[in-house]
Amino acid sequence: MIDVARARAETPGCEKVIHFNSCGASLMPAPVLQAVKDHLDLEAGIGGYEAADKQRAEIDGLYDSAARYFNCSPGEIAVVENATVAWDMAFYGLSFQPGDRILTAMSEYAANYIAYLQIAKRTGAVIEVIPNDNAGQIDVAALERMIDRKAKLISITHVPTNGGLVNPAEKVGKVARSAGVPYLLDACQSFGQMPLDVEKIGCDMASVTGRKFMRGPRGTGLLYVRRSMLDKLEPPFLDLRAASWTGPDSYELQPDAKRFENWEKYIAGMIGLKTAIDYAMGWGMENIEARVVELAGNFRRKLASVPGVVVRDLGERPCGIVSFTKDGVRPEDIKARMAEEGINCSTSSRFSTRLDMTARDLHMLSRTGIHYFNTEAETDRFVELLEAMRA
Ligand SMILES: *Cc1c(COP(=O)(O)O)cnc(C)c1O
């Protein structure tokens, strides 16, 4: 159980706004904010390098905290700028031959799909999209039928940017494992709102961001790479953090996932992200997930009772992202109207998830990201305002 009063008391933003944008950037809890500020003060006071020397244990602790969250070892974690860089370091580290098949899904994120298109153009690899089942999530049986010798990568988004769908990541992992096909998971929107155990899921690589449901600082991201996968990836960029210059004609890669990093880091952000992961795990990821699913489920029911509103979330058991449309009212206008009332929500356009939005004939959605610090009173207020909006 989540003590919501305590969660709110520990979230300074809860006094100022109704925040339904944890899928964009969440509200940092006070301990995270304090950790970032303290480190910035230390840097200003004694110098950035000297501050990092003093805080070495906290900085290194990020790898341990992330490893606890993912159920992996600290050496399987790389710390980078954001989820996109994390994902790119994995994807562009793979090599493809003409005819190699990249298997992805309907809800794929634009940045990832653009990268597939570039690599397809460059190498002759082909992109193939796994169809959805009747619930609107990845059809795992169809994926099984798509596996052959030419299937070189399964790369999917766990929770898409545009709705509450949770793809069956574990079932996909079973297929990937039995076929021996590398499996890259974009877990950007699931990180921080549910547990992510890479052993259970069976993914070989996963990318996440700090600022969304994990409630960390902006400008932070992590890449998980399974140890057995390390030597199958050629890091697309190397620097003196990723490798050492061992002789006039030689270099050696870091023995662990740090080979996907680069040297300069947002150190205050690293300490902030460590604090955010510890803070989330202090609540318990199962507890966070249970509260988020309940609150978001109730919100969907309230929304569905508003005339003209259609809830757009797919999947068997949707998560904390709640998406909808209202007849005759533009999502941009809903966002602006809510902002006037101190409520943060967002929109998602076809350009972020083109395959899914085109298949459903959608151009723009209203998108909210509900977290455990939100309340029924807040979602009531939202629904009341939405009801009053006329075409
Ligand atoms: C936000 C998002 C990303 C990108 O994360 P950044 O930290 O902005 O790079 C990737 N995938 C999904 C599904 C997202 O929602």
Looking only at the bridges linking them, the beta strands covering 77-80 and 18-19 are unpaired
**66 in Cβ contact with 222 (< 8 Å):** yes
- Name the residue of 186, 212, 352 whose CB sits within 8 Å of the most ligand 1 atoms, as the mutation to test its pocket: 186
Helix (H, G, I), strand (E, B) or coil at 155: strand
Can you give the pLDDT at residue 391? 79
Question: In terms of CATH architecture, what is 31-282?
Answer: 3-Layer(aba) Sandwich (3.40)
CA of 390 to the centre of ligand 1 (A): 33
User: How far apart, in whole angstroms, are the C-alpha atoms of residue 170 and residue 2?
Assistant: 26
Q: Residues 6 or more apart from 150 whose CB is under 8 A from it?
A: 99, 100, 101
Residue nearest (by alpha carbon) to ligand 1 atom 15 = 161
Per-residue pLDDT of the chain (391 residues; tens, 9 = 90+): 899 999 999 999 999 999 999 999 999 999 999 999 999 999 999 999 999 999 999 999 999 999 999 999 999 999 999 999 999 999 999 999 999 999 999 999 999 999 999 999 999 999 999 999 999 999 999 999 999 999 999 999 999 999 999 999 999 999 999 999 999 999 999 999 999 999 999 999 999 999 999 999 999 999 999 999 999 999 999 999 999 999 999 999 999 999 999 999 999 999 999 999 999 999 999 999 999 999 999 999 999 999 999 999 999 999 999 999 999 999 999 999 999 999 999 999 999 999 999 999 999 999 999 999 999 999 999 999 999 998 7
The length of the chain, given as a count of residues? 391
The contacts of residue 25 (CB under 8 Å, 6+ apart) are: 211, 212, 218
Centre of ligand 1 from the C-alpha of residue 115, in Å:
14
Closest-lying ligand 1 atom to the alpha carbon of residue 210: 7
Pocket test for ligand 1, best of 91, 109, 193, 367 (most atoms within 8 A of CB): 109
CA distances from 64 to 67, 73, 124, 274, 337 (A): 5, 8, 39, 9, 43
User: How far apart, in Å, are the Cα atoms of 30 and each of 7, 9, 224, 255?
Assistant: 10, 9, 27, 36
- Provide the 10 A C-beta neighbour count for residue 43: 17
Alpha-carbon distance 136 to 133, whole Å?
5
C-alpha of residue 272 to centroid of ligand 1, in Å? 19
Task: Output the CA 374–ligand 1 centroid distance in Å.
Answer: 22
Start-end of CATH 3.90.1150.10 domains in the chain: 4-27+284-388
Residues 261-294 as b/e (b if ≥16 CB within 10 A, e otherwise) read bbeebbbbbbbbbbbbbbbbeebebeebbebbbe
Ligand 1 centroid from CA 46, angstroms? 34
Atom of ligand 1 nearest to the CA of 158: 13
Query: How many C-beta atoms surround the C-beta of residue 226 within 10 A?
Result: 20
* Residue 125 · residue 100 · CB < 8 Å: yes
Q: Which atom of ligand 1 is nearest to the CA of 84?
A: 9
Ligand 1, closest atom to CA 161?
15
- What fold is seen in the domain 4-27+284-388? Aspartate Aminotransferase, domain 1 (3.90.1150)
Ligand 1: centre distance to CA 249 (Å): 38
* Residue 333: strand, helix, or coil: helix
Closest atom of ligand 1 to 186 CA is 11
By CB atoms closer than 10 A (0-12, 13-18, 19+), residue 327 is exposed
* Chain region(s) in the chain for CATH 3.40.640.10: 31-282
Cα 201 to Cα 63: distance, rounded to the nearest angstrom:
20
Contacts with 301 (C-beta within 8 Å, 6 or more apart), sequence order: none
Q: 318 CA to middle of ligand 1, Å?
A: 18
Ligand 1, atom 5, residue with closest C-alpha: 83
Residues with CB under 6 A from ligand 1: 82-84, 109, 157, 160-161, 186, 188-189, 209, 221
Q: 59-65 long-range contacts, Cβ below 8 Å, gap at least 24?
A: 59/267, 59/270, 59/271, 59/274, 61/274, 62/270, 62/271, 62/273, 62/274, 62/277, 65/274, 65/277, 65/278, 65/281
**Residue 188 C-alpha to ligand 1 middle, in angstroms?**
5
The set of residues, in sequence order, having a beta carbon less than 8 Å from that of 316 and lying 6+ positions away, is 135, 137, 166
Where is 239: in which H helix or E strand?
Answer: none
Atom of ligand 1 nearest to the CA of 23: 15
pLDDT at 259: 98
Q: Which amino acid is at 270?
A: M
Distance 211 CA to ligand 1 centre (A): 10
Give which of 99, 159, 168, 107 is closest to 127, Cα–Cα: 99
Name the residue of 188, 212, 352, 356 to mutate for ligand 1: max ligand atoms within 8 A of Cβ.
188
Q: Is the pTM of this model over 0.95?
A: yes
Query: What angle is formed at CA 366 by the lines to CA 195 and CA 85, rounded to 5 degrees?
Result: 50
Q: Which two tokens stand for residue 113?
A: 């799909």
Q: Are 192 and 174 in contact (CB under 8 A)?
A: no
Question: How many Å lie between the centroid of ligand 1 and the Cα of residue 220?
Answer: 11
Atom of ligand 1 nearest to the CA of 189: 15
CA 313 to ligand 1 center in whole angstroms: 18
Q: Give the model's pLDDT for residue 33.
A: 98
Question: Per the structure block, which two tokens stand in for 343?
Answer: 């409520």
Among 209, 273, 365, 367, residue to substitute to test ligand 1 (most atoms within 8 Å of Cβ) = 209
**pLDDT by residue (tens digit) across 226-281?**
999 999 999 999 999 999 999 999 999 999 999 999 999 999 999 999 999 999 99
